[in-house]
Amino acid sequence: MTKRELKNIVSIAILLAAVLAYFGMRCLPHQKNSSSLNNGLVFVSRAIDGDTIKLSNGGYVRFIGIDTPESRYNKKIVRDSKRSGSDIKSIIRMGIEASDFTRRKVQGKMVRLEFDVEKRDKYGRLLAYVYLEDGTFLNAKIIEEGYAQVMTIPPNVKYAGYFLKLQKEAREKNKGLWETGIDKSLF
């Protein structure tokens, strides 16, 4: 191989590398709210209720490991009322409190999602552990403040023991759902 041929091969290789680099960079996400550009953070457009949020991309996230009371009349609230002996009005009041708590924490803000084994439920919602920008573990905080009961659905059990500990403490302190006079078998 002559020097000229070697020079041509090197020139072609450099040109090819430049073209690949150019097109490779164009494939990277450049949107302002892109997860990769925000250290894994996603924008919450609104809180649907105490344990479900809607992201700016239109997707829904169901918090893993917790169940907050319903904030609207539906079939589940009727079942919960029959099972617990609590009246529907009280359940809705507690559901609204849980929804308001979640809304204050996340609506219009960035959160980080952590996934477990199953990533979607039967309704197509993402299943996630949700963290606020300051690192607060929101699923845990909702239980700790008494706005939710633990709901463990295998195989997503990563924090089940921790959640049960927080629920026990909230019950002992009569926080939220567990306040004195409220039926402790709401769900």
Cβ atoms of 98 and 146 within 8 Å: the answer is no
Q: What is the pLDDT of residue 8?
A: 65
Cβ atoms of 61 and 132 within 8 Å: the answer is no
Does 46 participate in catalysis according to the annotation?
Answer: no
Please spell the DSSP secondary structure of 94-128, one letter per residue: HHHHHHHHHHHHHTTSEEEEE--S--B-TTS-EEE
Cβ atoms of 71 and 99 within 8 Å: the answer is yes
Q: What is the pLDDT of residue 32?
A: 34
Question: Chain-centre distance of CA 30, in angstroms?
Answer: 24
Cβ atoms of 162 and 137 within 8 Å: the answer is no
Between the alpha carbon of residue 140 and those of residues 66, 71, 150, the distances in Å are 9, 20, 10
Q: What is the pLDDT of residue 54?
A: 98
Q: What is the pLDDT of residue 24?
A: 47
Q: Say how many C-beta atoms besides its own lie within 10 A of residue 20's C-beta.
A: 10
For residues 32 and 94, give the distance between their C-alpha atoms in angstroms, rounded to a whole number.
37
N-to-C CA span, the chain: 80
In which residue are the tokens 């700016």 written? 56
User: pLDDT per position in the chain (187 positions), as tens?
Assistant: 787 776 667 567 566 555 555 554 433 333 333 333 356 899 999 999 999 999 999 999 999 999 999 988 899 889 888 888 888 998 999 999 999 999 999 999 999 999 999 999 999 999 999 999 999 999 999 999 999 999 999 999 999 999 999 999 999 999 998 885 555 555 4
Q: What is the pLDDT of residue 25?
A: 40
Query: 26, 62, 120, 172: which one is catalytic?
Result: 62
Does 104 participate in catalysis according to the annotation?
Answer: no
Between the alpha carbon of residue 131 and those of residues 43, 111, 157, the distances in Å are 12, 6, 17
State pLDDT tens for residues 15-70: 655 555 555 443 333 333 333 335 689 999 999 999 999 999 999 999 999 999 99
Q: Which residues of 40-51 are buried (b: 16+ CB within 10 A; e: fewer)?
A: ebbbbeebbbbb
Q: What is the pLDDT of residue 30?
A: 32
Q: Cα 26–27–29 angle (5° rounding)?
A: 100
Does 97 participate in catalysis according to the annotation?
Answer: no
For residues 187 and 184, give the distance between their C-alpha atoms in angstroms, rounded to a whole number.
8
Query: 5, 125, 145, 172: which one is catalytic?
Result: 125
For residues 80 and 115, give the distance between their C-alpha atoms in angstroms, rounded to a whole number.
28
Query: 4, 70, 83, 144: which one is catalytic?
Result: 70
Q: Say how many C-beta atoms besides its own lie within 10 A of residue 35's C-beta.
A: 16
